[in-house]
């Protein structure tokens, strides 16, 4: 009797296992008839049974069911569930026959659902969600490609770039930089913004080598984008490579000799290179080619005034160039004793000071006229320049003993 009972129990267990395997088969049948909801009930039942819950086929069918539901509803959670089920199936049996034949298309379906959710989040400016979806999609592709099955999911450089862009917008700069650099390494050429952002990030980090490479890559891929020339000039200026910067500025001027903005920018840059300052704003030693740079600056300011004689900034800059020269000679003169100041050298310096002040005056007066015309709409940066212009005029008028004009300028300063 005891043997019969054992036999009956064994028979009962076998029948139960067969019943659960039947659930797996019926789930597949429901999928074939496009009834994934019914398939879901059967496969979930099979996963509750000890005899089938660790079977690769059960998990594979679970993945197929959730995949079908996710394709139907575009649901990312269901796509995630399908992905995890397929991974479980392959963990149990890496050579599962059905998976070897079908897995490429199935994984790509899930990759597309998750990736498209990322693009939708990106369009809605949900930066964190977009980055999460993009990362999940790329993890899925990397996992599948590592299995060496039929076919691969191609690297999507667009997705890599936009995952970095989303993280950048979300304020996660370090994580963003990793993805953006990967997109650049893959020679992503759809968005010039990639190389602009990379250049800015590496500039902030003080990585000059990678900063310059981002600029050079950007120029190569987007030769018509003028931002990279501007970035290159900033790079050369900040890294002290004045020779390279001067060459670039000379070339830009030669290409745009009658463009007012280009000419004025050229002159200001030459002036700044000739008269550098340290981090505290104090005068730094003059470069060896000081005279050459100042000649270029002066010619540039003259050309700018010729192109736009009413521009306040251009007139101020040319006036300031002559005024600063006069100040320099005046310092030499003041360093002399009374005998020295009366000597031929002293008289020569005095003549230079007066001559340069006279040269500066009409340009300062024209600049003052232009700044005053702006009234209350004057920009803060222009207001500061206007103030400097008035101080210079006050100084020149005082030297000339034109006290009425000194008083008039003083009132304008008090009104600022």
pLDDT digits 0-9 by tens, 165-201: 999 999 999 999 999 999 999 999 999 999 999 999 9
Comparing 8-22, 74-88, 228-242, which segment has the lowest mean pLDDT? 8-22
What number is the average pLDDT over the span 369-380?
Answer: 91
Taking only the tens place, the pLDDT of each residue in 123-155 is: 999 999 999 999 999 999 999 999 888 889 999
At 323 the pLDDT is 96
Of the pLDDT bands very low, low, confident and very high (cuts 50, 70, 90), residue 230 is confident
Q: What pLDDT band is residue 12 in, cutting at 50, 70 and 90?
A: very low
Residues 249-274: what's their mean pLDDT? 92
Percent of the chain with pLDDT over 70: 94
Contact 329, 359 (CB under 8 A): no
CA dist 107 and 151 (Å) reads: 11
φ and ψ at residue 9, rounded to 5 degrees = -65, -40
| pLDDT surpassing 60 at residue 276 | yes
Q: Determine the pLDDT at residue 235.
A: 86
Which runs of consecutive H residues, i.e. helices, occur in 147-279?
A: 157-169, 173-185, 193-205, 208-221, 227-238, 242-255, 260-274
Quickly tell me which residue has 């026959």 as its tokens: 97
- Residues 44 and 85: their CA atoms lie apart, in Å, by 12
| Confidence at 279, pLDDT banded by 50, 70, 90 | low
Whose CA is closest to 221, among 178, 182, 188? Answer: 188
Distance of CA 282 to the CA centre of its chain: 32
| Among candidate residues 125, 126, 109, 188, the one with its CA nearest the CA of residue 155 | 188
- Six token digits for residue 134: 């993009």
The pLDDT of residue 143 is: 93
pLDDT of res. 35: 81
State the pLDDT at residue 11. 35
Burial (Cβ within 10 Å: 0-12, 13-18, ≥19) of residue 37 = exposed
Q: According to DSSP H, which parts of 308-379 are helical?
A: 312-334, 338-342, 344-374
pLDDT band at 325 (very low <50, low <70, confident <90, very high): very high
Identify the pLDDT of residue 13.
Answer: 38
Average pLDDT on 46-74 reads 87
**pLDDT for 415 beyond 80:** yes
State mean pLDDT over 263-287. 84
Give per-residue pLDDT as tens, 238-248. Answer: 887 888 888 88
Give the chain's mean pLDDT: 88
CB atoms within 10 A of CB 94: 13
pTM as predicted: 0.61
């Amino acid at each position: 009797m005891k043997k019969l009972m054992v036999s009956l129990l064994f028979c009962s267990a076998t029948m139960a296992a067969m019943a659960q395997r039947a659930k797996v088969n019926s789930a597949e049948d429901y999928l074939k008839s496009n009834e994934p909801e019914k398939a879901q009930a059967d496969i979930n039942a099979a996963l509750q049974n000890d005899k089938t819950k660790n079977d690769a086929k059960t998990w594979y069918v679970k993945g197929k069911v959730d995949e079908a539901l996710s394709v139907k509803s575009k649901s990312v959670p269901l796509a995630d569930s399908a992905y995890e089920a397929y991974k479980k199936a392959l963990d149990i049996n890496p050579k599962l026959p059905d998976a070897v034949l079908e897995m490429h298309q199935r994984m790509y379906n899930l990759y597309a659902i998750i990736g498209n959710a990322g693009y939708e989040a990106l369009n809605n400016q949900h930066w964190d969600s977009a980055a999460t979806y993009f990362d999940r999609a790329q993890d899925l592709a990397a996992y599948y490609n590592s299995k060496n099955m039929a076919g691969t999911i191609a690297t999507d450089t667009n997705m890599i770039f936009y995952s970095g862009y989303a993280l950048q917008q979300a304020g996660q700069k370090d994580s963003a930089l990793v993805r953006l650099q990967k997109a650049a390494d893959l020679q992503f050429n759809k968005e010039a913004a990639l190389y602009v952002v990379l250049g800015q990030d590496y500039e902030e980090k003080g990585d000059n080598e990678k900063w310059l490479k981002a600029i050079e890559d950007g120029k190569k891929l987007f030769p018509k984008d003028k931002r990279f020339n501007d970035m290159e000039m900033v790079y050369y200026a900040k890294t002290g490579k004045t020779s390279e910067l001067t060459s670039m500025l000379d070339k830009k001027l030669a290409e745009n000799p009658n463009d007012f903005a280009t000419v004025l920018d050229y002159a200001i840059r030459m002036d700044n290179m000739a008269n550098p300052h340290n981090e505290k704003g104090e005068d730094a030693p003059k470069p060896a080619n000081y005279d050459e740079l100042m000649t270029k600056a002066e010619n540039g300011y003259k050309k700018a005034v010729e192109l736009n004689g009413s521009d306040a900034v251009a007139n101020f800059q040319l006036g300031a160039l002559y005024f600063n020269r006069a100040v320099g000679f005046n310092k030499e003169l003041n360093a002399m004793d009374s005998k020295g100041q009366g000597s031929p050298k002293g008289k020569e310096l005095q003549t230079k000071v007066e001559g340069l002040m006279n040269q500066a005056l009409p340009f300062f007066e024209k600049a003052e006229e232009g700044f005053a015309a702006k009234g209350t709409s004057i920009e803060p940066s222009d207001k500061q320049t206007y103030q400097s212009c008035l101080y210079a005029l006050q100084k020149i008028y005082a030297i000339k003993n034109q006290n009425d004009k000194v008083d008039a300028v003083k009132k304008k300063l008090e009104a600022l």
